[in-house]
Structure 1
């Protein structure tokens, strides 16, 4: 099924695409290869569309990270979560699989994979619970400073100078508001490896912020919310009738400005059931009247464009609904 263009997303939503893509997400996986079917039809960019979603090669399954070679047992619904932070959190945050394993960095309360070419993250993973999101009186955002990530080679880092007078906000991928657990966790969200250039008014400060707030809101009814966030660089058709992947770069480091951003929410109910919601938003000012549901897309829309699979360690049969529709 052809992808939906940005104009169509903003004007009429993507409910038709979601219905069609849901079948591909669930039925396009055979028993021998649960991730992809050889007969699965790739996305095709049609001439009358302004942007599209590129097919991506099949990714090899990755085993969930296992610290100290110990098995990370699933957390049953309703059990109070571990509120500590540190390297051992990797197994809990990533228990449903790593999308990729290149240039992975584990912070005290989130995990990311860094894109050295584009100077921003490929994806960022978080694990949210109601208890972990409680505002801590000793934690302050006001004293946090955006800073270079010293774990990234200087050749491939983004810097504050790259953003200076660029016209773009330094937009969080792992939202600062998700990490009130302690000051260190809050501070670490300000590493520039966790930042992407985002349009400010209408996007970072408005529509994208609403989606971040919605992810936190889900913890009120869900025992666990696993969040994957990242940039996308989607093709568009130009005046010559040809399709190009075109995006701006900023600063001396040529930091890529994503055309779109995705966010995937894997929500576990108190009874242990999983429900998946997946969103793509254009990196532009968005009308405040457009509901978040208008930006829901089939999961494979993100997977084919990003080049990796979402929550690969979780069997798809365990997901009861996708974007509110039964699987």
Structure 2
């Protein structure tokens, strides 16, 4: 009798154990389903965010192998065909937006942001493609002394000119962003002597016409509170070179100037041949449209079209403070 009861108890115990085991499995599965599904969604979210994350830009980048988008046809600028990606969407463009020209052709380029200026450096030419900066009324009152120490730009990747290249070449080391505009900061003054900011210039251009324009721009910055300047060399297909590093000698130099805070806003361009330039500054004044044609660059593209088209077609030197 006792054996039968024990047998029955064992069977009941086994059945209860199996039931409890099954119930435990079911509960575990129920608990795991939302957990596993949550893990799956989390993984999918990471994958999606990585795919959709935009490329971030560093303080300088090489873009020689990148085809520029929204390219305008080469040649004379067509009104009303500005790149919409460079517009400010109805908002007032920032100084930084106005400082950076849009290249309409492919060129070797490394964008470097220094304390007082931005340079598009071309390691093939050993020259800047362009240099841009804003000069304010306050900055013209700086007291920092000129360093006169020409040095290599530590951020440049690739070849760059040296003092030896310029020695006995017959050309001056011509500043694009002038040292006299960088007196407001010791670091800005030091960086103005980087070779990435230099071009071979005829001595009577560097010391006369180019210098005279730099001085006039400082007067305009004082009068108008701030001026935006973009300048650089213009190269033909078969340029001369100097030095062991074969630094290209430009045939011409341009400078475009925008006074963004006066009403009405005004802008003007200047074009110099790389030779003796001793004529009055008004002689060298040209439209920005004409410089855009020579350089294949779009200046002040962030401005609304109606303003940009108007001011870039003007070249009246005498509408500026004299």
Q: 1:176 aligns with which of 163, 176, 179?
A: 179
Q: Tell me by how many angstroms 1:97 deviates.
A: 4.1
TM-score, L = length of structure 2: 0.66
Contact 1:97–1:314 (8 Å) recurs in 2: no
Aligned partner of 1:87 in structure 2 is none
After TM superposition, the structure 1 = structure 2 runs for residues 63-212 of structure 1, keeping only pairs within 5 Å, are 63=86, 74=92, 92-95=95-98, 97-100=100-103, 102-136=109-143, 139-141=144-146, 143-153=147-157, 155-200=158-203, 202-212=204-214
Which of structures 1 and 2 has the larger relative contact order (alpha carbons within 8 angstroms, sep 6+)? 1
Sort the Cα spacing of 1:256 and 1:297 in 2 relative to 1 into closer, same or farther, 3 A: same
Cα distance in 2 for residues equivalent to 1:104 and 1:224 = 23
SS of equivalent to 2:154: coil
Cα distance in 2 for residues equivalent to 1:125 and 1:213 = 17
Task: Determine whether 1:280 maps to 2:282.
Answer: no
Does 93-102 or 144-153 show the bigger shift?
Answer: 93-102
Instruction: Work out which of the two has the higher radius of gyration on C-alpha atoms and give 1 or 2.
Output: 2
Aligned partner of 2:225 in structure 1 is 223
Give structure 2 stretches of 5+ with no counterpart.
1-75
Sort the Cα spacing of 1:246 and 1:61 in 2 relative to 1 into closer, same or farther, 3 A: farther
Cα-Cα RMSD: 2.6
Q: Tell me by how many angstroms 1:270 deviates.
A: 4.0
Following TM superposition, where does structure 1 have runs of at least 4 consecutive aligned residues deviating by more than 2 angstroms? 60-65, 91-102, 268-271, 318-322
Cα distance in 2 for residues equivalent to 1:74 and 1:175 = 28
Q: 2:260 aligns with which of 244, 268, 289?
A: 268
Sort the Cα spacing of 1:156 and 1:61 in 2 relative to 1 into closer, same or farther, 3 A: farther
Task: Determine whether 1:314 maps to 2:321.
Answer: no
Aligned partner of 2:51 in structure 1 is none
SS of equivalent to 2:294: helix
Q: Tell me by how many angstroms 1:166 deviates.
A: 1.1
Give structure 1 stretches of 5+ with no counterpart.
1-23, 36-59, 66-70, 76-90, 235-244
Aligned residues: 235
